[in-house]
């Protein structure tokens, strides 16, 4: 049975897990860019979300044909580069963002608040989408930051659902709120997801948000429904597979490696099967977590400037298949990484070069 690694922790654990240096107090993304090789672990989504079947449905990409209610709170459709400047900072590679990203502009208004899907980055398996939440009367938000991580706002959606009618066996992801400009009438919501199965373009995406909350109560009441077409640009590359490596002292074989400027996907099989009973609460037990850690292939991405990005805290899934365990490790990077900057990827102690 597939299981999402970061699927059952509490919202507060997710916020505590976010890692930022002091620079994050000024701007979350600048912190990420200044982190000198430290990779932000994937954070799971707040637990008060409702999912339609399948259990994790794919979120899609923006298109030129928008089926939403407008072009956003400002009435101006942002480019992907503009939309993601609040996430990655002004020094991000906007050329790549505009190549693979798609502006959306679909929006909905309820109770004096407009929620707009601004843009998305997507590579077939991983996505990052950014939204704006704006007060129509022009007043500013007073959402407090998380004490331990001042760049992240203490907020989450009480209801979240996404549906494009695609069957996917599982996925994992993260989300957080930021305030790019505390003096204006908007805050931003960043949503990421990595799927076990490829998400094909061409479908219609339906997203619902309901009631913005924090741990103390409701911040905004309302329900916002957005709809748009699924499109994407893709600059991903597939590396040669078939390498024999060691995972937790066991023999393993690399089945698939995909890298893109926004994320990665690694599929491998390990000899033997892994079984662990869930905790009575339905949350991940210590035994389950240890079993997952024992199956870690310890991926490390090496860049031309000497940076080594540890991806071992990524999410994924495992599934027993006969006498083997099939594992997927995947995730979204905390910055845009041009493929020409990638030198190699180490898996299970074996370095795999990336041809330029």
Q: Which helix (H) or strand (E) holds 280?
A: none
Confidence at residue 166, expressed as pLDDT on a 0 to 100 scale:
56
Q: No. of H helices and E strands in the chain?
A: 6, 20
| Residue 7: per-residue pLDDT | 35
Q: Among all chains, which residue has been given the structure tokens 């994924």? A: 316
Phi, then psi, of 115 in degrees rounded to 5: -105, 125
For residue 161, the model assigns a pLDDT of 86
Output the pLDDT for position 19: 34
Q: Which CA distances in Å does 52 have to 10, 161, 165?
A: 20, 7, 10
Per-10-residue mean pLDDT for the chain, 356 residues long?
A: 35 35 36 36 31 27 28 61 88 87 94 95 91 96 91 94 66 91 95 88 87 93 92 88 94 97 96 70 70 89 96 87 93 94 96 87
Integer Cα distance of 277 and 156 in angstroms: 30
Q: 153 forms bridges with which residues in the sheet?
A: 145, 177
Question: What DSSP character marks residue 112?
Answer: T
pLDDT at 76: 61
DSSP state letter for 57: P
């Amino acid at each position: 049975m597939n299981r999402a690694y970061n699927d059952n922790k509490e919202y507060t654990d997710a916020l505590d897990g976010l890692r930022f240096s002091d620079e994050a107090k000024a701007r979350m993304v600048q912190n990420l860019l200044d982190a000198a090789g430290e990779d932000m672990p994937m954070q799971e989504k707040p637990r008060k979300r409702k999912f339609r079947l399948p259990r994790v449905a794919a979120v899609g990409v923006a298109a030129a044909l928008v089926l939403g209610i407008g072009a956003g709170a400002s009435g101006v459709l942002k480019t992907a580069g503009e939309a993601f400047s609040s996430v990655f900072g002004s020094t991000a590679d906007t050329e790549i963002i505009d190549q693979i990203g798609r502006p959306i502009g679909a929006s909905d208004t309820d109770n004096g608040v407009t929620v707009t899907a601004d843009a998305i980055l997507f590579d077939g398996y991983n996505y990052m989408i950014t939204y704006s939440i704006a007060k129509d009367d022009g007043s500013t938000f007073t959402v407090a930051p998380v004490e331990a991580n001042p760049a992240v706002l203490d907020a989450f959606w009480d209801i979240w659902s996404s549906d494009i009618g695609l069957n996917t066996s599982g996925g994992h992801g993260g989300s957080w709120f930021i305030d790019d400009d505390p003096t204006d009438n908007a805050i931003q919501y960043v949503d990421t997801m990595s799927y076990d199965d490829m998400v094909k373009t061409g479908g219609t995406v339906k997203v619902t948000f309901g009631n913005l909350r924090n741990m103390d109560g409701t911040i905004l009441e309302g329900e916002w429904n957005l709809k748009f077409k699924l499109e994407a640009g893709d600059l991903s590359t597939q590396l040669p597979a078939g390498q024999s490596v060691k995972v937790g002292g066991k023999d393993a074989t690399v089945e698939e490696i995909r890298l893109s400027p926004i994320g990665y996907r690694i599929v491998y099989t390990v000899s033997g099967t892994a079984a662990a009973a869930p905790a009575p609460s339905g949350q991940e037990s210590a035994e389950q977590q240890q079993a997952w850690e024992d199956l870690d292939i310890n991926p490390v991405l090496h860049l031309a400037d000497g940076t080594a990005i540890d991806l071992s805290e990524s999410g994924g899934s495992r599934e027993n298949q006969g006498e083997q365990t099939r594992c997927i490790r995947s995730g979204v990077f905390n910055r845009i990484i041009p493929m020409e900057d990638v030198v190699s990827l180490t898996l299970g102690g074996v370095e795999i070069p990336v041809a330029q």
